[in-house]
Amino acid sequence: MNYSNWNRIKLSAILSVFRLKPVLQREIGNNAAISVLKKMKYHYMEIDKREPGKKGIMSYHRILLITGLSLYRAMQEEPGVDRDVIGKVHRVLWNTGSRQQTGFIAYFVRRSTNSFEQFLKYLGPRNERFFPCPPWKKVEVEIENGVGWNQLQCPYYEFFKKEGAVELTKAYCDIDRLVAGHVPDSVELRRERTLANGDSSCDFYYYRKQL
Span 42-70, average pLDDT: 94
CA distance 129 to 208: 23
What is the residue-averaged pLDDT of the chain?
92
151 φ, ψ (degrees, to nearest 5) = -90, 115
Mind listing the domains of the chain with CATH numbers? 5-208 (3.90.1520)
Looking at residue 88, its pLDDT comes to 96
β-pair partners for 140: 149
Looking at residue 82, its pLDDT comes to 80
Q: Which amino acid, one-letter code, is at 195?
A: L
CA distance 187 to 56: 29
Tens-digit pLDDT profile for residues 127-177: 999 999 999 999 999 999 999 999 999 999 999 999 999 999 999 999 999
Q: 3-state class of 41 per DSSP?
A: helix
The burial class, CB within 10 Å (0-12 / 13-18 / 19+), for 121 is middle
Rounded to two decimals, the pTM is 0.91
Which element (helix H / strand E) includes 140?
strand 137-143
Check: CB of residue 153 under 8 Å from CB of residue 134: yes
Check: CB of residue 136 under 8 Å from CB of residue 151: yes
**More confidently predicted of 164 and 97:** 164
Instruction: Quote the DSSP letter at residue 11.
Output: H
Given a cut of 80, whether residue 114 has pLDDT beyond it is yes
Indicate the angle between helix axes 155-162 and 57-77, nearest 10 degrees: 40
Give all strands of the β-sheet with 202-208 in edge-to-edge order: 137-143, 146-153, 202-208, 187-190
Given a cut of 70, whether residue 210 has pLDDT beyond it is no
What confidence tier does 17 reach under pLDDT thresholds 50, 70, 90? low
Looking at residue 18, its pLDDT comes to 75
Looking at residue 8, its pLDDT comes to 75
Looking at residue 83, its pLDDT comes to 86
Looking at residue 2, its pLDDT comes to 59
147 φ, ψ (degrees, to nearest 5) = -135, 135
